[in-house]
Amino acid sequence: KAGVTQTPRYLIKTRGQQVTLSCSPISGHRSVSWYQQTPGQGLQFLFEYFSETQRNKGNFPGRFSGRQFSNSRSEMNVSTLELGDSALYLCASSLADSYTDTQYFGPGTRLTVL
Amino acid sequence: GENVEQHPSTLSVQEGDSAVIKCTYSDSASNYFPWYKQELGKGPQLIIDIRSNVGEKKDQRIAVTLNKTAKHFSLHITETQPEDSAVYFCAASDDGANNLFFGTGTRLTVIP
């Protein structure tokens, strides 16, 4: 079974721009969660989508948004990029049969904001 | 919200020795505790997890113990090998949401 895939793997943007990241979950998984990883703040939860609905949200500004499609693929958007948005963005998928399902991570998208 | 603390931040062991990483959590509602291994340039990989109705779980050289009363859980790796070198993260989650609160990570180095 193929794992979680994320595209693109690397991205360079400038301040003020916006960016869209994509995540394809493991086949059959209905939940997709997004995390931000930085050296200073570590791994932080952004939001979770299940059945095309945002089910939970972390403590990030409204510039961070996402969506999920009917095939469970998910996209994350960051508008008006700031230097501090430079990070590794990870998505994780799970079956979501229960709320505490095992999450499997993709390789991440490395975003650099100049 | 949940707060997960992880110690030590770095750990060096000789090949063949054991390694122990400890985490504490603050929210008594947390009931799911996974451990992830992250190698350079890769996403976190689940290595073992435990749920609050179990005190200990083993998978070959890896074991996790959970003490709900004290709100701490630990990862034990026996007979360490150079390929165990990586950053290890503990995490906690409660039944209210499918989101993980992570510890700050432990960089494990196994010296051949």
Torsional class of B9: left (φ above 0), alpha (ψ -120 to 50), beta (otherwise): alpha
Which residue of B49, B99, B104 is the best one to mutate when testing the A interface, meaning the one whose CB has the most A CBs within 10 A?
A: B99
pLDDT tens, position by position, A5-47: 999 999 999 999 999 999 999 999 999 999 999 998 999 999 9
Residue bearing the bigger pLDDT, A81 or B54: A81
Q: Are B47 and B37 in contact (CB under 8 A)?
A: yes
B41–A102 C-beta distance less than 8 A? no
Within 8 A of A43 by CB-CB distance, chain B residues are: 44, 89, 91, 100, 102
| pLDDT per position as a tens digit, B12-24 | 999 999 999 999 9
Q: Report the pLDDT value the prediction gives residue A97, as an integer from 0 to 100.
A: 66
CB atoms within 10 A of CB A64: 18
In angstroms, what separates the C-alpha of A74 from chain B's closest C-alpha? 16
- Predicted confidence band at A73 (pLDDT cuts at 50, 70, 90)? very high
Report residue B29's pLDDT band, with 50, 70 and 90 as the boundaries: confident
Going by C-alpha positions, the residue among A85, A1, A33 that lies closest to residue B101 is A33
Residue B3: exposure state from Cβ atoms within 10 A (0-12, 13-18, ≥19):
exposed
Q: What does the pLDDT read at residue A43? A: 96
With CB atoms and an 8 Å threshold, state whether A4 touches B34: no
Q: What pLDDT sits at residue B95?
A: 60
Start-to-end Cα distance in chain A: 37
- Give the per-residue pLDDT at A100: 67
Residues of chain A positioned with their CB less than 8 A from the CB of B91: 43
Subunit contact A105:B31, Cβ cutoff 8 A: no
Closest B-chain CA to A95 = B98
Query: In which element (H, E) is residue B65 found?
Result: strand B62-67
CB contact under 8 A, A107 and B42: yes
SS3 content of chain A, % helix, strand, coil (to 5): 5, 55, 45
The reply to whether residue B97 touches residue A94, judged by beta carbons under 8 angstroms, is no
Residue of chain A with shortest Cα separation from B44: A105
- Does the beta-carbon distance from A107 to B41 stay under 8 Å? yes
